[in-house]
Amino acid sequence: MPLQEHNYWLTTAEFPQTQARPLPNRVDVAVIGAGFTGLSAARTLAKRDAKVAVLESETIGWGASSRNGGMVLTGLKLGVNELISKYGRERTQRMYAASLQTIDSVEQIIREEAIDCDFSRCGHLEVACKQKHFDDYERQAEVIAREFNHQLRVVQRNELSAEIGSKIYYGGMVDEVSAGLNPARYVAGLGRAAMKAGADIFQHTRVESLQRESSQGESGWKISTSRGTLWAREVFVGTSGYTGKATPALEKKLIPIGSFIITTEVLPGVMARELSPRNRMIYDSKNYLYYYRLTPDRRMLFGGRAAFFPETDQSIRRSAEILRRGMIEVYPQLRDAKVEYVWGGTLDFAFDIMPHAGQLDGMYYAVGYAGHGVAMATYQGQKMAELMAGDQPENPFVGIPFPGAPLGLYNGKPWFLPFAGIWYKFLDWVS
Ligand SMILES: Cc1cc2nc3c(=O)[nH]c(=O)nc-3n(C[C@H](O)[C@H](O)[C@H](O)COP(=O)(O)OP(=O)(O)OC[C@H]3O[C@@H](n4cnc5c(N)ncnc54)[C@H](O)[C@@H]3O)c2cc1C
């Protein structure tokens, strides 16, 4: 098959149909964005009898939620020592416990809603590109065991062949709690679950602006969309890397970053077992990292931040070449394997590389998953919905400082990304 610029996962999933109804006049909550964050929130809110409208400018799961690697990962992007020095021991312990809980939240929803998405607790493997990265694994595993009572297994270089069929790494670290799934099937299932709970999903409905406005003596929001206006008592924003002008305060706090993926043809069983004997979710220790896994039908899925700008036709084509070269460096065995699909998507980073949730300008939001969003977005959607419904759920990410750009030098257009790309490559070289 010739290379297709198309998301492989979409060839495996069926998305729920929605009817093109007029927008309601009034709802309790308008959710912006129909990805993991928005749909998870909509499902929880609708189960609590709220009248919910999900407004999505494209289609269900169109954003990062159908385009990702399907790695359901424990942990946060920042290292534990950095977290402890920033937030203190007690809050970091709560954050780490929450990161483990996120995996349970995904598993529970999949079970309750019977979502057929190949969820499997296969664990993840992080591999060290340098000796000093490996030395750091031993220190991290020790801190995580001591502070968070969670066991990671450090794998010495001479034992690594039991985990991965590549000879380029200095060792690895395994977390058995992480999982893998098919993201397109999962987000389609979440959409179905939200609708079954009673939420209305309006596809092809772009939110253009939001204005504070009272209605029938209640304060709320007038929401102007590409398909007319509606009024909502509360607004919840789950737009991640696709956050735009409708929510300018949030847009200025987020950096959209392009990430790209290729998948090979279906590999012979013996070859697939050699590449990944335990079928782990794998990523390396670089800033400019590669992440990879086998798909349930035995393709190698290989991703990376091959370009720093969000996806365009040109960046997708260039990424296919860059990623194929990267894949062959890791796995020379794949030199002759055909690459059949390439696609890109946009994820969001906050300036402190932390997830953030709370209220900004009176709107609720959850964003900033930095490539760890499959589990965290599901969890944040649920927790923020519980908060909006009047509960006081445990959520250690609410209330932490949410920094903007240094010196305020950012208007939502990421002019500095090429420099950030060069900077990360430099850091990978020196660290
Ligand atoms: C290539 C790639 C690989 C990744 N791999 C992994 C991985 O393996 N593991 C992991 O944990 N995370 C991964 N991530 C990150 C993860 O996919 C995201 O963090 C997660 O999907 C975010 O979900 P979301 O619902 O917040 O946002 P999205 O799924 O991006 O949804 C946001 C939605 O908001 C809509 N929207 C935006 N503005 C408006 C508006 N004004 N009106 C109406 N709708 C609007 C968009 O159309 C979009 O559908 C990856 C991301 C990418 C791009």
Whole-model pTM: value is 0.95
Alpha helices in 54-156 (DSSP H): 64-67, 80-113, 131-148
CA 372–ligand 1 middle distance (angstroms) = 10
- pLDDT at position 406 is 72
Residue nearest to atom 4 of ligand 1 (CA): 68
Maximal C-alpha separation, the chain: 70
Which residues line the pocket of ligand 1, CB cutoff 6 A?
A: 32-38, 55-58, 62-65, 67-71, 73, 206-207, 238-242, 244, 246, 259, 261, 303, 345-347, 369, 371-375, 377
The answer to whether 393 and 383 have CB atoms below 8 angstroms apart is yes
Residue nearest to atom 35 of ligand 1 (CA): 33
* Beta-bridge partner residues of 215: 218
DSSP 229-295: EEEEEEEEE--GGG--TTSHHHHTTEEEEEEEEEEESPPPHHHHHHH-TT--EEEESSSS-EEEEE-
| Tens digits of pLDDT across the chain (431 residues) | 788 889 999 999 999 999 889 999 999 999 999 999 999 999 999 999 999 999 999 999 999 999 999 999 998 988 888 999 999 999 999 999 999 999 999 999 999 999 999 999 999 999 999 999 999 999 999 999 999 999 999 999 999 999 999 999 999 999 999 999 999 999 999 999 999 999 999 999 999 999 999 999 999 999 999 999 999 999 999 999 999 999 999 999 998 988 999 999 999 999 999 999 999 999 999 988 999 999 999 999 999 975 556 567 777 888 899 999 999 999 999 999 999 999 999 999 999 999 999 999 999 999 999 989 999 999 999 999 999 999 999 999 999 999 987 766 666 666 666 556 655 655 566 55
Residue nearest to atom 10 of ligand 1 (CA): 372
